[in-house]
């Protein structure tokens, strides 16, 4: 007589859904955040070297609903944002790394983006006159040298944050904060439905990811679903 019993029988494990471990108030917050996320406005960082600035820009992007940050790596300064400044915000973002600006440009142009670099140069467009109703990428450069020549020759235009005081320049993180806030505010004011622009499929995918990230014991949960 053949042996049997549960230990020898194939069975389906019940799917473990992260949603069941979250309070309703937490799910509501995640749903609200997802509804305001944008992938049509993105930020590009060109060869930053200060990890405080790296983290500060990421935190601004996350808080303003910008889902994607594209990073051209500085070969002399690895992209490792300061954790005390970032406060874990990077886990909610899509951070894409590139060895060269050409690779980054090719990726974004292939998706239909216009690229504008922050640069103090003659003919640069006033930030407040820019429109953000199409796919738009803002490029911010190195703390000491600004954006590279490759960026200046590869972008569709340059822009400046208008200054009203004696100081005529801003730290990269401050310039990024002012510019990103302006762009998102413009989108909220001029676009139907506000700045959020994810498709239903993109929103659902991001929502499920955020639900999992919202569970404190998510590593154990992932292991449970893989058994």
Please tell me the predicted confidence (pLDDT) of residue 80: 97
pTM of the model: 0.87
Please list the alpha-helical segments (H only) found in 144-216. 149-154, 172-190, 200-213
What is the distance between the alpha carbons of residues 34 and 103, in angstroms, rounded to a whole number? 28
What is the distance between the alpha carbons of residues 117 and 138, in angstroms, rounded to a whole number? 6
Q: Is 44 annotated as a binding residue?
A: no
Q: Is 155 annotated as a binding residue?
A: no
Domain boundaries, the chain: 38-198
What is the distance between the alpha carbons of residues 200 and 164, in angstroms, rounded to a whole number? 42
**What's the CATH architecture for 38-198?**
3-Layer(aba) Sandwich (3.40)
- pLDDT string in tens for the chain (227-residue length): 455 555 544 544 555 566 667 888 999 999 999 999 999 999 999 999 999 999 999 999 999 999 999 999 999 999 999 999 999 999 999 999 999 999 999 999 999 999 999 999 999 999 999 999 999 999 999 999 999 999 999 999 999 999 999 988 899 999 999 999 999 999 999 999 899 999 999 999 999 999 999 886 444 444 544 45
Please tell me the predicted confidence (pLDDT) of residue 168: 83
Q: Is 170 annotated as a binding residue?
A: yes
């Amino acid at each position: 007589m053949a042996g049997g019993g549960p230990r020898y029988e194939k069975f389906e494990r019940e799917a473990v859904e992260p949603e069941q471990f979250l309070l309703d108030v937490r799910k509501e917050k995640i749903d609200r955040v997802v509804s305001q996320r944008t992938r049509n406005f993105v930020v590009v960082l060109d060869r930053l070297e200060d990890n405080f600035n790296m983290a500060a820009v990421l935190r601004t992007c996350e808080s303003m609903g910008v889902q994607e940050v594209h990073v051209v790596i500085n070969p002399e300064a690895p992209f490792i944002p300061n954790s005390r400044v970032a406060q874990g915000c990077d886990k909610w973002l899509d951070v894409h790394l590139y060895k060269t600006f050409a690779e980054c440009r090719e990726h974004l142009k292939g998706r239909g983006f216009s690229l504008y670099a922050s640069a103090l140069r003659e003919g640069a467009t006033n930030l407040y006159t820019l429109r953000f109703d199409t796919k738009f990428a803002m490029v911010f450069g190195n703390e000491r040298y600004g954006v590279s020549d490759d960026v200046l020759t590869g972008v569709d235009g340059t822009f400046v944050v208008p200054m009203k005081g004696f100081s005529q320049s801003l730290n990269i993180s401050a310039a990024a904060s002012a510019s990103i806030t302006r762009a998102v505010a413009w989108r909220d004011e001029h676009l139907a439905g506000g700045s959020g622009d994810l498709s239903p499929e993109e929103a659902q995918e991001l929502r499920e990811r955020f639900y999992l990230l919202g569970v404190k014991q998510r590593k154990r949960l992932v292991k449970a679903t893989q058994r």
